[in-house]
Amino acid sequence: MNIAYTRRGKGPPVLLIHGVGGDASNWDPIAARLARRFDVIAMDLRGHGSSELIRGPVDVDDFTLDALQVLGEAGVGRCHVAGFSLGGAVALALALRSPESVGRLAVIGTVCGRTPEQQARALDRIKYLEHHGTAALAESNRERWFSSAFRASHPEVVDRRVAQVSGCDAESYLRAFTVFCTAEFIDRVGEIRAPLLVIAGEHDVAATPDMARAMGGLVQNAEFHVLPGLHHSVLIEAPATIGALLDGFFARAQPV
C-alpha cells in the first residue's frame, strides 16, 4: 500500500493523523509550530491525499497498519501521536495494537462511546452518504463543522474545506466514513498506558465533550480540554489553540 507522508523539523518524532476527507495539509499550521522542536510526520490516510485509493472494505486496523508502515519507512520506532476525528480512532487503535510505538497520545474531536441513539444517527449518516453522495454530505456539514462566527468571518476557509471533502474519491470516502461511524474503543481505552490528552469542541455533536470526559476518566492522569464555542473542525478553526496544547503536552514527555 502506497501511503504518503510529509516530514519537517528536528527533535523527538511526532506522528499526525488527519480526519476523514482531509489530508496531511490540514495539520499545516499546527505542524509548523511543532516542527520548531519536533520531527513532525504527517501522513495521508489511505484513500486520501496522495495515498493509494481504497478499493474494497477496510477497518480501523487497516489504517493502523498504514501508520505503522509510515513509521517503519521513516525509521521511527517510537513517537508521540496525535489524531483528529477518524485519525483519533486510528491513534487509539495504534496505542492498543502497538503500545511500544506510542510515547504520548493526543486525540482531538474523536468519537468514542456512542450511545445507542448516537450509533443510530451515525448509521443514518452513512445511508445519507450512500444515497446523496459526498458533495451533499459535505454541504450539510457546514454547521456541524464550524461555529457561526467562523462561517461568517472566514467563508473562504469553510468553502475550501467543503470543496476538499467534495473532491474526495467517492468509494474511498464512503469506506473511510464508514470506519469513522462504526469504530469503537470505549471498552478498551482503559488499557492504554500512554499519557493521554483529549480535546473536544464544546458544540461538537459527533465527538461530544461527554465522550472526551469519558475517555479521560478511563486513563490515569489523562488531560482533557473542551474548547468553548467550537464545533468539530477545530484543526481548521483553532490551529493556534490546538498547536499550543499539543506542543505543551508533548514537550512534557521524557525523550522517546
CA 256 to chain centre: 22
**pLDDT, tens digit, for every residue of 195-228?**
999 999 999 999 999 999 999 999 988 999 999 9
- The pLDDT of residue 253 is 84
Q: Is residue 141 within a helix (H) or strand (E), and if so which, with residue range?
A: none
Query: pLDDT value at position 190?
Result: 96
Calculate the average pLDDT of the chain. Answer: 97
The pLDDT assigned to 221 comes to: 82
* Secondary structure letter of residue 232 according to DSSP: S
Give yes or no for residue 256 having a pLDDT over 90. Answer: no
Helices within 13-146 (DSSP H only): 28-34, 60-74, 86-97, 116-132, 134-140, 142-145
Rounded to whole angstroms, the Cα distance separating 92 from 77 reads: 17
pLDDT at res. 222: 94
How buried is 166 (Cβ within 10 angstroms: 0-12 exposed, 13-18 middle, 19+ buried)? middle
Nearest Cα to Cα of residue 237 among 125, 143, 165, 110: 143
Q: What is the mean pLDDT of residues 2-11?
A: 98
Whole-angstrom Cα distance, residue 114 to residue 183? 10
Q: Which residues contact 61 (CB under 8 A, 6 or more apart)?
A: 93, 97
- Mean per-residue pLDDT, 17-27: 98
Number of residues assigned to the chain? 256
CA–CA gap between residue 18 and residue 45 (Å, rounded): 7
Q: CA dist 203 to 85, 126, 147, 182, 231, Å?
A: 14, 21, 8, 21, 5
254 confidence band (pLDDT: 50, 70, 90): low
Instruction: Report the alpha-carbon distance of residue 84 to residue 97 in Å, rounded.
Output: 18
255 pLDDT above the threshold of 80: no
**CA 3, CA 51: separation in Å to the nearest integer?**
5
